Amino acid sequence: MSEHRTTSRFAVVTGGSEGLGLAIADALAHDGADLILVARSHDKLDIAAKELGRHGTIVHTVSADLSAPEAPAQIAARIGNLTDRVDTLVNNVGTAHFASLAETTVDEMNTMWHLNVQIPLLMSQQLLPALLNARGSIINISSYWARKMVAGRHSAAYSATRGALNSLTRALASELGPQGVRVNAIAPGAVRTPKYEHSYLTPMTTEQRTAHDEHIERSYPLERLGTAEDVATAATYLASAQWTTGIILAVDGGLTIR
């Protein structure tokens, strides 16, 4: 962390207590930012704050359920008590439900639309004064599912929300650029997070795991899954890239070029 700052730089990371969000928070802290982590679980936030605090980082936590309608305004009020400037807002919270068209439910669609599209928009809206004050940037975490479909995994509703988030990113970049706020997105490929390990890899048989590994080697030119640190490196770049706005940065090992 920088030793010579005269003004604190604040980074707000939703879903910042684990997985991609925690890795991004850690990378931003190493780049000199103080942190405000937003997540549901008090316990996970406490663990994350202790882990990040070992680096000498100032870490504030806000426990909130972003699925609640009043959450963005309440979170912004809490953040406003801590700082009047936000240099980086990372909209990392999201959810995915994969189902065929025939089996897709309205509840699943509404949940994904709210968390994947409305929450990034509302968090950006609520924190806009602080972002303007810092001439800061917004980083939306999207997905390769906006661009690439996978045979056998039906994704119409989920892919639609990721495409919408990409369009939102470009539209906000156009709107907010003249006011000094940059807006970009990262579209990761499959990332080997604890959630990916637990929900996807662990239940596999040995034969399924072998087939999975062979599929990764065929699908990804770099022949491996991503790591949380791969995505965090991209977030650190976008947070500091002063002449970069409106891009959807594919961090996917080359998946979407095939």
Tens-digit pLDDT profile for residues 107-125: 999 999 999 999 999 999 9
pLDDT at 1: 40
Length of the chain: 258
| Spatial separation of the C-alpha atoms in residues 51 and 126, rounded to whole Å | 28
10 Å Cβ neighbour count for 104?
18
pLDDT at 198: 86
| Spatial separation of the C-alpha atoms in residues 45 and 63, rounded to whole Å | 8
Mean pLDDT in residue range 138-155: 96
Q: What share of the chain is helix, strand, coil (3-state, %, to 5)?
A: 50, 15, 35
Record the tokens describing residue 220, joined without a space. Answer: 């990804």
| Spatial separation of the C-alpha atoms in residues 48 and 43, rounded to whole Å | 9
**Helices (runs of H) and strands (runs of E) counted in the chain:** 10, 7
Residue type, 70: E
Active site residues: 158
Record the tokens describing residue 247, joined without a space. Answer: 């891009």
Contact residues for 108 (Cβ-Cβ < 8 A; gap 6+): 97, 99, 157
Question: In the predicted model, what is the mean pLDDT of the chain?
Answer: 95
Least confident span in 23-27, 126-130, 189-193, 230-234: 189-193
Mean pLDDT in residue range 201-210: 93
Mean pLDDT in residue range 124-144: 98
Q: How many whole angstroms from its chain centre is CA 27?
A: 13
pLDDT at 199: 83
| Spatial separation of the C-alpha atoms in residues 204 and 20, rounded to whole Å | 23
Q: With 0.85 as the threshold, say if the pTM is over it.
A: yes
10 Å Cβ neighbour count for 84?
12
Record the tokens describing residue 60, joined without a space. Answer: 């504030």
